[in-house]
Chains A and B, each alone.
Chain A
């Protein structure tokens, strides 16, 4: 009885409740869709606090913020990333103002685009897992799905920022790391390449997957 209660308390809403559609354009799309009639009979959960129909909402940004959280302090994590965006802007705008008019178009000024590119560049395709065969543990390269690769990319970016020298603030370090990853440089990209090298070395164990 107690365990039953604890399962019920875990989420206020039963399992058959579906995720909300909070973006305006998605809602408009749904209205024109055939599935609209079926959706009217569904029960929806309310939207989370970071899920807004705002113009400035970005799912990757809110994901990144969620990975940055420490001790449940979402507001400070949000401040950290927003401040990092400002630092990115400061760095890029200074470069933009100092360079020639021909090179100006090459400089990316949108911090969200930089973040997206950085995460995209840091995403690995495969990973090593430990598999036990005949009493021996082998590191076997396996392909990973997009969710896992995004998790690893964001985690590596944050780790790389935290590992840097502590003379300046974390948001500045994160900004530098993101810009470097955007340009396919930096610690995160190095880490990815090292992983690939290891995968290449353990190529012969690949059949242990089955």
Chain B
């Protein structure tokens, strides 16, 4: 109720009288109050008074916040500033680092609030003096490198097993990488003590893990979650491979011609062919080739052709031998005929 009353009492009715323009007219009036005098002693009338220039008041400059990196001394001890691996912090690094894909006509982004710099792993804790200091600290736990192992050849001779694994640096929440569990064993086949049978068997067992060009067996294990487990498994595999190749099972005596690792002419069809041709028209009872001339050469040529792979040279050699085996009329008759 009181509100209503209040509003009623202050009700304002607009009237034309109320809209009287209150406009101030500023005319440019000649300045008559000038005291300056010209050279003849007359006062100067300024019809268009010159504007009095306002003196600009400069604001008091606000001090800009400068990072810690500005105040760092040049000869400071850097490993103490950045002792371990951490995410990039712009105000701790006194370097004008830039990173990021620039827009056309601009440079790359500066280091402050630069996520690109924060994402990538940095190696600021691994400066040469830091590494040197680490090494110095670790030295007391190390033994001296044996003087005899002065070359790589000697290292491989005395330590034929090469174990490879990888560690990964991370600035994320976890320091573990799943790839670090993988273990690779590399052994030269020549460094293992194997006889003919064992070598043949180890090659069959290893399959494509053996590289013929470098003579290296490579075992990669990544089945277990931990590196230690994988290492143990690889060791077990290598030992099993070695001992299994030395063992000779009963069924290995049943090795057929198709299972042979090399071409044996004596057991193959080629020998039978040769003997049957020379025994023709009789059918040979025993495949003895001692009486056939050049049979030994032929044996070598065929075995070389198949064992060493076929090329123009081996084909030519085979051809020369076969030419001797072919049934040609004796040369004498031929020469008399031409006379």
Direct contact of A and B (CB under 8 A): no
